[in-house]
């Protein structure tokens, strides 16, 4: 049987976009042409592959099983054909899906977007949720190009690169009746706190740091994103403990006051990871280098 490699690229585009319209736009073909290719794939593989549901085209179990195999095959072919070619970011057009955790999305992604606008205006970013674990991000299957955050025991098919470290600081409202330019351990332990509960294993980091230093706190409010914290702190006598890079972005808010933590809580790492099949891809390599430079500039 003779296979048309273009059909496999249609398959991957549908896996990543979950939409006939977006997949056709990505491949630069019409929707009828893409639908025709999908029907040919269905005939060859004897499976519907994608089922239209309320929120898009959902892959069948067979499609999920085939996706990493097809992606690996296409990546190897692309590596052979394009591996020696120089990547021209200024004239390249592509869509890149990345999965940053909430910290990276707040601290790093705006600077990455600004750098892309200047150096590679044809590259578009799609941010996908970090989820509860790496499997949910799509990076393990390779459908997501990069994942950025804090990783515990990543699988063998991921390459992990350290990006940066950050420390922690406290935030209270600027006219707090009990807190001046510092906060003592006793004050910290008697105050009520606002805690950020990001998804996945990131949530354990601050708790572990507090335990290591014997520092206790009473959590009065738990939120899911850093953006929620300033409004809560500005209208209460509560305290919060946040990464220093986030605190830097809150310094312009006159309602808030940034203070050192009562004890040195150390630092935490931020890494990025990608599937091994992207190791030698020129475009992916350029993107990784650019993100590394942005992180270093912080």
Q: Are strands 158-166 and 146-149 parallel, antiparallel or unpaired?
A: unpaired
Q: Where in the chain is the domain with CATH 1.10.10.10?
A: 1-85
Lowest pLDDT segment from 5-14, 36-45, 132-141, 258-267: 132-141
CA distance 62 to 146: 24
- The confidence band for 156, taking pLDDT boundaries of 50, 70 and 90, is confident
| Domain 1-85, CATH class in plain words | mainly alpha
Please tell me the pTM assigned to this model. Answer: 0.71
Using one digit for the tens of pLDDT, what is the confidence trace for 199-224? 554 456 787 888 888 899 999 999 98
Please give the CATH number for the structural domain made up of 89-162+268-298: 3.40.190.10
Q: What architecture does CATH give domain 168-266?
A: 3-Layer(aba) Sandwich (3.40)
- The confidence band for 151, taking pLDDT boundaries of 50, 70 and 90, is confident
CA dist 30 → 2, 15, 59, 82, 106 (Å): 24, 17, 21, 26, 36
Q: Where in the chain is the domain with CATH 3.40.190.10?
A: 89-162+268-298, 168-266
Six-digit token string for 269: 């790492």
């Amino acid at each position: 049987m003779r296979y048309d490699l273009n059909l496999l690229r249609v398959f991957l585009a549908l896996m990543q976009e979950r939409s006939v319209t977006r997949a056709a736009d990505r491949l630069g073909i019409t929707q009828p042409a893409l639908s025709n290719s999908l029907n040919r794939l269905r005939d060859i593989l004897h499976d519907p592959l994608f089922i239209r549901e309320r929120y898009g085209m959902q892959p069948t179990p067979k499609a999920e099983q085939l996706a990493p195999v097809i992606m690996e095959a296409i990546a190897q072919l692309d590596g052979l054909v394009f591996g020696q070619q120089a990547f021209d970011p200024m004239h390249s057009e592509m869509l890149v899906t990345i999965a940053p955790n909430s910290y990276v999305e707040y601290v790093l992604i705006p600077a990455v977007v600004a750098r892309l606008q200047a150096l590679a205006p044809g590259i578009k970013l799609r941010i996908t949720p970090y989820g509860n674990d790496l499997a949910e991000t799509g990076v393990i299957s390779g459908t997501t190009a990069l994942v950025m955050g804090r990783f515990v025991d990543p699988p063998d098919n991921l390459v992990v690169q350290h990006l940066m470290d950050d420390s922690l600081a406290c935030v209270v409202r600027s006219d707090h009746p009990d807190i001046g330019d510092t906060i003592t351990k006793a004050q910290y332990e008697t105050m009520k706190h606002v805690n950020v509960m990001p998804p996945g294993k990131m949530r354990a980091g601050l708790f572990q740091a507090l335990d290591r230093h014997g520092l206790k706190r009473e959590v009065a409010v738990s939120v899911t994103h850093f953006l929620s914290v300033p409004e809560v702190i500005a209208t209460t006598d509560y305290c919060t403990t946040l990464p220093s890079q986030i605190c830097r972005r809150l310094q312009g808010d006159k309602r808030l006051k940034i203070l050192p933590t009562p004890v040195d809580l150390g630092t935490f790492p931020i890494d990025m990871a990608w599937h091994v099949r992207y190791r030698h891809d020129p475009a992916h390599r350029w993107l990784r280098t650019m993100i590394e430079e942005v992180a270093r500039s912080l």
